[in-house]
Amino acid sequence: MRYPKGSIQLNQSRDLPLLRQILHSEYTTHSQLFEFMRLNHYERSRKSFDWRLRRLMDRGLVRRQTMQGCTGEFVYSVAGGAAMLLQDMGEYCLVGRDRFNGKEAERSVLHAIGLNEIQLSALRAGLLVRWIGSMEIRSQNELTGFGYVKDYDAVVTVRTEAGDQRFALEYERSPKPIRFYRDIAAALGREAHVSHVLYLVSNYDLLQFISGFFRNSQCHVFFGLVKDWHAQLLEMPVSCCPGTRCIRLRETLGVGTERPELAATAR
């Protein structure tokens, strides 16, 4: 069968998984994208991967851009037509406005790249069962009547000795306005879909600042440093609010319905 000049026949086992990964990462570097494909067993050859990605760019399905001050690599995102194509094929996603334009562009890219690294750390260790990204969460929140109380950065399921454990993830690189955290702390008391929320932050001062707003939260909210996640994963130290001693993340995921600060004190 002959195809019109300039068209592309998408490979179900290689092209579509690659497009889906770029879509759900929102922004990703070249090395991150190859590692996602390799760890998920879609691609083994770097040469083959480079050819495939270049082919998708040439057909206008993938965008490659540089962001000053972001990384030393190209940053990739799906073009609007590819996002619509994937949506038509059943992907749970909301394709938002173009965040490469405007003042928030660099911040959005750095946040996405940081989240990719958090996900890749769990993938490398064989701990990751499922990663529901922010795009899928936004879709559920906006289009259905049974969404989460906020647009989390991800909802993560990991393997533990006690079985699969699930938690919502928030990745904070810099502080937001005080009213933002107060609203979240109030909303988490109504959360019905997850019982644990993990905040990964860039430094200890930010951890102290954010955690103070969740002292009386009815949800199990824990705070830790992103560098500790990369180094220790489920063994990383976390705390539930200022003044409480740190415990391992693995232990917090087994906490039941008791108040988190009491559970931490009891251990």
Domains of the chain in start order, with CATH, are 1-104 (1.10.10.10), 125-267 (no CATH)
SS3 content of the chain, % helix, strand, coil (to 5): 45, 20, 40
Q: What is the pTM of this model?
A: 0.87
Average pLDDT over residues 215-239: 93
Q: Of all residues in the chain, what percent carry a pLDDT higher than 70?
A: 85
Q: Of all residues in the chain, what percent carry a pLDDT higher than 90?
A: 63
Scanning the chain, the segments in alpha helix (DSSP H) are 15-25, 30-39, 46-58, 80-88, 105-124, 134-143, 178-188, 204-211, 226-232, 249-252, 260-266
- Identify the pLDDT of residue 103: 58
Check whether 260 has a pLDDT greater than 50: no
- Identify the pLDDT of residue 255: 62
Q: What distance in Å separates the CA atoms of residue 187 and residue 149, rounded to the nearest whole number?
A: 6
Average pLDDT over residues 238-249: 83
Q: Which residue has the higher pLDDT, 13 or 78?
A: 78
φ/ψ bin of 131: left (φ > 0), alpha (ψ from -120 to 50), beta (otherwise): beta
Average pLDDT over residues 237-241: 88
Average pLDDT over residues 148-164: 95
Q: Which residue has the higher pLDDT, 161 or 218?
A: 161
Check whether 240 has a pLDDT greater than 70: yes
Kindly list the distances between the CA atom of residue 168 and the CA atoms of 18, 131, 197, 237, 239, in Å, as whole numbers in the listed order.
Answer: 25, 10, 5, 17, 16
pLDDT band of residue 6 (cuts 50, 70, 90) is very low
Check whether 259 has a pLDDT greater than 50: no
